[in-house]
Amino acid sequence: MPRKKIEGMPGFGARLAQMRKAAGYTQVELAAEIGVSQRNIAYYEGQTEHPPGNLLPTLAKALGVSIDELMRVTPIRKAAKAGSSRLQRRVAQIEKLDAREKRQILQFLDTLIERERLRRKAGTSY
C-alpha cells in the first residue's frame, strides 16, 4: 500500500537531496560512492517518491544516517558540517593506503600547513 504524502513534509527525493548536501556530497560523488550513475541520483531526488529498496542500506551508510531517518520514520538528526564529513571520508581513504603512501601524504600536508603558517606570520608582521 503506497504511503500517503503528508502535507508540508518533504518527499523522499527532497530528503535525499537534503541529506546528500548535508553530508557534503555532489550527486556525482554520491553516485560513485554507492555504485550507481549520477542520473540515478538525480532521478531519486526529483522524479520518484518510491525509494530504491535495494540501495537503502548503501545510501544510508554513505550519508551517515539510519534507514529510518532516510525513510522519515524517525526525525532527521542534525548532520555534521559538510566539510568535516568530507574530510573524514578522505581520512578514511588515506587510512587504507600503505605506509609509504601515508608518509608521502603526511609530508605533503605538513608542507602545506607550514607554508600557510609562514604566510600568515609574514602577513601579520608588517
Fold of 12-70: 434 Repressor (Amino-terminal Domain) (1.10.260)
Interval 2-14: pLDDT, tens: 444 444 456 888 8
Interval 37-95: pLDDT, tens: 999 999 999 877 777 888 899 998 888 888 888 887 655 555 544 445 777 777 878 88
Alpha carbon distances (Å) from 125 to 34, 56, 63, 118: 49, 54, 44, 10
The candidate with the shortest Cα–Cα distance to 20, out of 8, 9, 33, 7, is: 33
Q: Where are the domains of the chain?
A: 12-70, 82-124
Q: What is the pTM of this model?
A: 0.56
> Is the separation of the CB atoms in 45 and 17 below 8 Å?
yes
Q: Is the pLDDT assigned to residue 36 strictly greater than 90?
A: yes
